[in-house]
Amino acid sequence: MNVMEASGLGKRYGRTWALRECTLAIPAGYLAALIGPNGAGKTTLLNLAVGLAQPSTGAVTVLGGRPAGSPVALDGIAFVAQGTPVHKNLSVADMLHLTRNLNRRFDQAYAEARLAELDIPRNRRAGRLSGGQQAQLALTLALARRPRLLVLDEPVAMLDPVARHDFMATVAAAADDGVSVLLSSHVLADLERVANYLILLSRGRVQVAGEVDDLLGSHRMLTGPTGEAGRYSERPVVHVHRAEAQAHLLVRAGADDPVPPGWQAQPVGLEELALAYLREPAAAALPGLDAESSEVAK
Ligand SMILES: Nc1ncnc2c1ncn2[C@@H]1O[C@H](COP(=O)(O)OP(=O)(O)OP(=O)(O)O)[C@@H](O)[C@H]1O
């Protein structure tokens, strides 16, 4: 089952294409990270997936083929919009009450226990909570709806490192409990710890999509003499970083691929991989795209 499937999905605002020809299938059971530079189309894609925006082209379904925005889709999705919004003038208890009344399913016991664990006072106005507490409140309310898919748009952007860590730990725990998660963020280091599926958007298009283990297994960092970097042609090169003596090449190669004499190959992490693609918007790593025939940076 795919928690989200997009085919030829596009969204245009006036003359600007916020998202173009987006074809994706995110399987259930993953914590999927959605990354990309400012303006790449992340919020647009998430808004289309939760039914807050209508496509200009193509289609998007969620939770095994349900049209995005349909009642049955909305019932299974919890969405926390950018900036983890809370009603600033309502108390925590009022927000709990409101959310319970607006939703068919709401696990009051879970919400109460979680807020107690987080030391969030029930009678405090939401606007008076710290940024970290507001984010945790929004996340608690979302999870208390017992969603099958949790969608989070840049939830940790404003949080300090400890609050960010705690927030991501709650999200990871939900994923461990079987909730599929789709989360956009610029904080690659946080995602490195928890994400097991990666989608990278660039200029409104999908640039990289796939299971993190597959992506890491099919890329290597080669280190060797800078003078020889231009001659390497065995495998497609995504990004070249030239220092004085040594060059670092992020290449599309597996552990069994030969390494040229004088060069060393190292596995890559998610942050390194993402940075290489972010620096080379023309390079792509997509399912079904053969390494040899793919567009890669020269
Ligand atoms: N309502 C809108 N009207 C006009 N243009 C829009 C609208 N929403 C988004 N856009 C444009 O579409 C593009 C993609 O925007 P989007 O907010 O989806 O990017 P993003 O990847 O979420 O960016 P960020 O990381 O800054 O949040 C941008 O060029 C943006 O200016």
Strand partners, 16: 13
Distance 37 CA to ligand 1 centre (A): 11
Kindly state whether residues 60 and 147 are assigned to the same domain.
yes
The binding-site residues of ligand 1, defined as CB within 6 angstroms of any ligand atom, are 13, 16, 18, 36, 38-44
What is the structure's pLDDT at 293?
Answer: 41
What is the structure's pLDDT at 288?
Answer: 64
Kindly state whether residues 237 and 272 are assigned to the same domain.
yes
Residue nearest (by alpha carbon) to ligand 1 atom 4:
13
Cα-Cα-Cα-Cα dihedral sign, residues 112, 47, 174, 104? positive
Residue nearest (by alpha carbon) to ligand 1 atom 5:
13
Predicted complex ipTM? 0.96
pLDDT for 298 beyond 60: no
Give the ligand 1 atom nearest the CA of 201: 21
Kindly state whether residues 86 and 199 are assigned to the same domain.
yes
pLDDT for 42 beyond 90: yes
What is the structure's pLDDT at 87?
Answer: 85
Kindly state whether residues 164 and 96 are assigned to the same domain.
yes
Mean pLDDT of 106-125: 93
The closest alpha carbon to 116, from 100, 90, 87, 137, belongs to 137
Kindly state whether residues 135 and 231 are assigned to the same domain.
no
Q: Of 180, 213, 246, which residue is a domain's last?
A: 213
Distance 247 CA to ligand 1 centre (A): 36
Concatenated DSSP letters of 114-155: HHHHTT--TTSBGGGS-HHHHHHHHHHHHHHT--SEEEEEST
What is the structure's pLDDT at 291?
Answer: 43
- CB-based contact 54:9 (threshold 8 Å): no
Domains held by the chain: number = 2
User: Each residue of 70-79: pLDDT tens digit?
Assistant: 999 999 999 9
pLDDT for 35 beyond 90: yes
Give domain status of residue 201, yes or no.
yes
What is the structure's pLDDT at 217?
Answer: 96
User: Each residue of 135-171: pLDDT tens digit?
Assistant: 999 999 999 999 999 999 998 888 888 889 999 999 9
Give domain status of residue 292, yes or no.
no
Kindly state whether residues 30 and 56 are assigned to the same domain.
yes
pLDDT for 61 beyond 80: yes
Distance 149 CA to ligand 1 centre (A): 23
Range of the domain at 52: 2-213
Rounded-to-integer distance, Cα 294 and Cα 290, Å: 6
pLDDT for 85 beyond 90: no
What is the structure's pLDDT at 231?
Answer: 87
User: Each residue of 210-257: pLDDT tens digit?
Assistant: 999 999 999 999 999 999 988 888 899 999 999 888 999 999 999 999
Mean pLDDT of 70-93: 89
pLDDT band at 182 (very low <50, low <70, confident <90, very high): very high
Kindly state whether residues 28 and 156 are assigned to the same domain.
yes
Please give the residue that has the higher pLDDT: either 87 or 225. Answer: 225
pLDDT for 297 beyond 70: no
What is the structure's pLDDT at 287?
Answer: 75
Residue nearest (by alpha carbon) to ligand 1 atom 10:
18
pLDDT for 55 beyond 60: yes
Residue written as tokens 């020889």? 228
